[in-house]
Amino acid sequence: MDNSIESNPILNRLPKHLRQFIKPQNYEDYSAIDQAVWRYVMRKNVDFLSKVAHQSYLKGLKQTGISIDNIPNMYGMNRILKDIGWAAVAVDGFIPPNAFMEFQAYNVLVIASDIRQLEHIEYTPAPDIIHEGAGHAPIIANPEYAEYLRRFGEIGCKAISSAKDYELYEAVRKLSIIKEAPNSTKNDINSAEKEVETLQQNMGEPSEMALIRNLHWWTVEYGLIGTVENPKIYGAGLLSSIGESAWCITDAVKKLPYTIEATFKDFDITKPQPQLYATPDFAHLSLILEEFANTMALRKGGLSGIQKLIHSNTLGTIELSTGIQISGVFTNVIEDFGKPIYIQTIGKTALSYREKELIGHGVENHNQGFGSPIGKLKGINLAIEDMSPRDLSAYNIYEEKTVTLEFEGGISVSGEIITGKRNLQGKIILVSFKNCTVKHYNTVLFEPSSGIYDMAVGKEVVSAFSGPADLHSFDLITHIPSSQTIHIKKSEKQLQLERLYQQIRDYREDKNKTISRTKVLEELIKNHSTDWLLTIEIYELAIFGNETVLANNCLDHLETIKQHKPQVGKLIDDGLEIIKHKDLLKTT
């Protein structure tokens, strides 16, 4: 982990392949405009969400140490989050879904540390600190929801993706970056949107990751809780969008009971959601998650599980009935009457038992792929794994014996047995041969010149999942995103505007009471005539300081802005409305 990132016991448990996504927050990079955007959104949220959000929201703001007036410093958040068993880390925008969920499995909240532009204050498709910090963090203070989030991560990171899922992830990441970048053209945005739309329409059969990502969207991101007739908000996407949080509770958005059917409802991140799902309580979320998990290859295994791994074209694991686990990139399966009878990987492969690599069976030993029969011996009711030492001896499955093992489905293994490995229950899980030939009928699958043949033992595949069994078996520090968050050099005019915002912030925080707010307003009107947020901040100070002339000048200028930029009219009106509720301006 980067030395500039303050660690703690929870973060210390993170494996190296997750740490590659973490970056320092660099709190000093937030401008006074950024701080004003945070403050506006949070004050509006507290004003509105206090009426429509789940009760955990306001309580959670206090418990997680999130302030209304200041962008949260994650190092300070972590000192508070540790009391509820969680931590937070900063990342650059969207990270791969498996990694995002695996962070959750370790009780770590992933927070995109950038903040949306003032122009996108109501909503941004890019993950930002408002969405993550003010949306996700408060609700995890609820123990039932926090356990759901952890469990979701634990199950979700094992979901098998398709090769197209990663393409879609990169396209969505690119779109979110382009939409939030200050110098993007309309053509840039349209092109990126078209790429996402084309991929979404040509994904084919949805993968496990695509399906569980739907569940994540309709709960963690856009979930409602309570009754369909009177729901409350708990999804982070709604809690962090001052536009969509108001929209979602109107009759224009259809409300449905949350069931497993939500798995098959796709979403579009570029548009408001036409329907949302309401869960009666947080415990119900876990029931639906378990219902979905029962459909996953993680729990079902079998031929379909192997086929999903082959289709994913990426690192995955199968577990046999003896507990032996084979991790690699699966390329082929031979089947017989709907059952897998032989599996094959390509390239580096590792064998494990209970998530721990077997000594002598890492990627160094199996760097050219691995193949093994699965199932029972032909004409013998007793599977190898169920044989006692006496049975094994009777069938010549014994050290230094030359034997031909004929499996159901036409797989045969012929060679001299060198040794075997057993699991903790005494069942044999691996048999090693020399001078070995493996065939499927007349097709040779392995020949003596290839060296030692290690045969995994198991009558069936009980589980198949994404990633390796033992995280230490493979070099997983390989992620290089195709696009980086765009940070352009600020113009002198932008820097000048930031200085004006900073002066008002310093005045409000009693750091410099000599600043003339009247002169700041005059300069703002002269050089930045369409900026409305700083005018509202000046108006707030004028109202509380009983400076009627300055307050009226602010109102006159805001009316002028509304005439020239009617699209910000509601934002201005909402900002003025909040100022009327002075009691809501207290820092949480």
Domain co-membership, 169 together with 55: yes
450 & 497 share domain: no
Give the chain's mean pLDDT.
90
The answer to the question of residue 69 being in a domain is yes
Q: Which residues contact 324 (CB under 8 A, 6 or more apart)?
A: 351, 352, 353, 358, 423, 429, 430, 456, 457, 458
- Domain count across the chain: 3
Residue 265, in any domain of the structure: no
What is the pLDDT, as a whole number, of residue 586?
A: 45
User: 3-state class of 277 per DSSP?
Assistant: strand
Burial class (CB in 10 A: 0-12, 13-18, 19+), 288: buried
Do 369 and 502 belong to one domain?
no
Last residue of a domain, one of 208, 234, 249: 208
The tens digit of pLDDT for each residue in 3-44 reads 456 678 899 999 999 999 998 888 999 999 999 999 998 888
Based on the fold, state whether residues 27 and 165 are members of the same structural domain: yes
Whether 50 has a pLDDT exceeding 90, the answer reads no
Question: Would you say residue 279 lies in a domain?
Answer: no
| pTM for this entry | 0.87
- DSSP 3-state of 154: helix
Residues 456 and 550 in one domain: no
Indicate whether 501 and 454 sit together in one domain: no
Q: Is residue 254 assigned to a domain? A: no
Q: Is residue 145 part of a domain?
A: yes
Whether 292 is covered by a domain: the verdict is: no
Q: Are residues 58 and 113 in the same domain?
A: yes
CB atoms within 10 A of CB 283: 12
Do both 462 and 336 map to the same domain? yes
* pLDDT score recorded for residue 3: 41
Instruction: Please give the average per-residue pLDDT across 464-470, as a whole number.
Output: 97
Domain boundary among 450, 466, 482: 466
Degrees (nearest 5) of the Cα angle 535, 538, 539? Answer: 85
Question: Does residue 147 have a pLDDT over 50?
Answer: yes
Specify whether 79 is located in the same domain as 186. Answer: yes
pLDDT at 169: 77
Which pairing describes strands 254-257 and 108-112: parallel, antiparallel, or unpaired?
Answer: unpaired
Structural domain boundaries, residue 513? 492-585
The answer to whether residue 234 is domain-embedded is no
**Last residue of one domain, picked from the residues 174, 208, 242:** 208
CATH code of the domain in which 102 resides: 1.10.800.10
- Co-location of 384 and 331 in the same domain: yes
pLDDT of residue 267: 84
Examine residue 262 and state whether it is found in any structural domain, yes or no.
Answer: no
Tell me the three state secondary structure of residue 374: coil
Q: Categorize the per-residue pLDDT at 505 as very low, low, confident or very high, splitting at 50, 70 and 90.
A: very high
Helices 32-52 & 533-544 angle (0-180, nearest 10)? 70
Strand 87-91, strand 108-112: pairing: parallel
Give 213-230 pLDDT, tens digit per residue. 999 999 999 999 999 999
Burial of 484 (0-12, 13-18, 19+ CB in 10 A): exposed
Residues 447, 537, single domain; the answer is: no
Dump pLDDT digits (tens) for 278-323: 999 999 999 999 999 999 999 999 999 999 999 999 999 999 999 9
Contacts of 549 (CB under 8 A, 6+ apart): none
Based on the domain organization, do 321 and 433 belong to the same domain? yes
